[in-house]
Amino acid sequence: MNTLYLDGQSLLHRLPTRAKLGGLALFSLLLFAVSHPVVLGFAALAAAIAYSSTGIGWREGVARLRPAFITIFAVTLFALLFQPPVEALTILFRLTALMLAAAAITATTSIGAFIDTITWAAKPFERIGLVRAADIGLSVGLVIRFVPEVTLRYRSIRDAHQARGLKVRPVTLIVPLLIQTLKNADEIAAAIDARGIR
């Protein structure tokens, strides 16, 4: 199974997971508190430097983020239709900085560390009876763990279409992708139940 985690010895790799996730949360809040495109542009540049410091190659780094980049550009183009260019530029820089910062943290934090930290953060809510902390941690860990799996399935289905000489269309890709993903989700749920986690 693929994973978004990248083994390395960078500064981000060595930082405690709680500090990284706390810093990401603070960075995200500041991004939405600031609306000046120049400041947000520098924030995006800083996030890009942090992402490149993880040791990931240029080609792999771009490949990992291509779907997110496409989504951000689509949102920016949509914003250009209804808002001034400065506002669209603000949206572009803000979302890009947020995406790159999150990608840097994800690439330098193992799934186990993510689960442990999220579980720890959810403990106060468990004490007042709102949630089960272990369930929240497991859910977040599973989401992060299977993002690359869904991407790999998408590429496999697309390559199968191209090998058969079929025209690649979103509808013909999404339907089998959903079926495979839901089937895999059922298998994971059965495995979790069999281990008595829930």
Give the model confidence (pLDDT) of 45-98 as tens digits: 999 999 998 888 788 888 778 878 888 888 899 888 888 899 999 999 999 999
Amino acid letter, residue 25: A
Structural domain of 22: 11-109
Is 131 within the bounds of a domain?
yes
Q: Which of 105, 107, 90 is nearest to 31 (CA)?
A: 90
Percent of the chain with pLDDT over 70: 93
Per the model's pLDDT, the better-predicted residue between 89 and 159 turns out to be 89
Percent of the chain with pLDDT over 90: 26
Q: Do residues 16 and 76 both lie within one domain?
A: yes
Q: Do residues 19 and 97 both lie within one domain?
A: yes
Instruction: Tell whether the model's pLDDT for residue 197 goes beyond 70.
Output: no
* Average pLDDT of the residues of the chain: 84
Is 1 within the bounds of a domain?
no
Q: Do residues 103 and 134 both lie within one domain?
A: no
Is 120 within the bounds of a domain?
no
Instruction: Tell whether the model's pLDDT for residue 40 goes beyond 90.
Output: yes
Contact 6, 55 (CB under 8 A): yes
Q: What is the pLDDT of residue 27?
A: 94
CB atoms within 10 A of CB 146: 19
Domain boundary among 109, 137, 158: 109
Q: What is the pLDDT of residue 29?
A: 94
CB atoms within 10 A of CB 44: 22
Domain boundary among 109, 137, 153: 109
Q: Do residues 58 and 22 both lie within one domain?
A: yes
Place of tokens 């749920």: 189
Is 122 within the bounds of a domain?
no
Is 82 within the bounds of a domain?
yes
Categorize the per-residue pLDDT at 195 as very low, low, confident or very high, splitting at 50, 70 and 90: low
CA angle 166, 167, 169 (to 5 degrees): 125
Categorize the per-residue pLDDT at 157 as very low, low, confident or very high, splitting at 50, 70 and 90: confident
Is 28 within the bounds of a domain?
yes
Q: Do residues 99 and 150 both lie within one domain?
A: no
Is 118 within the bounds of a domain?
no
Q: Do residues 138 and 99 both lie within one domain?
A: no
Q: Do residues 145 and 57 both lie within one domain?
A: no
Q: Do residues 152 and 103 both lie within one domain?
A: no
Q: What is the pLDDT of residue 90?
A: 93
Is 6 within the bounds of a domain?
no
User: b or e along 87-111 (b: 16 or more beta carbons within 10 Å of the residue's beta carbon)?
Assistant: ebbbbbbbbbbbbbbbbbbbbbbbb
| pLDDT tens-digit map of 15-29 | 999 999 999 999 999
Q: Do residues 91 and 156 both lie within one domain?
A: no
| pLDDT tens-digit map of 114-130 | 888 888 988 888 888 88
What total of structural domains would you count in the chain? 2
Q: Which of 113, 106, 112 is nearest to 51 (CA)?
A: 106
Q: Do residues 79 and 15 both lie within one domain?
A: yes
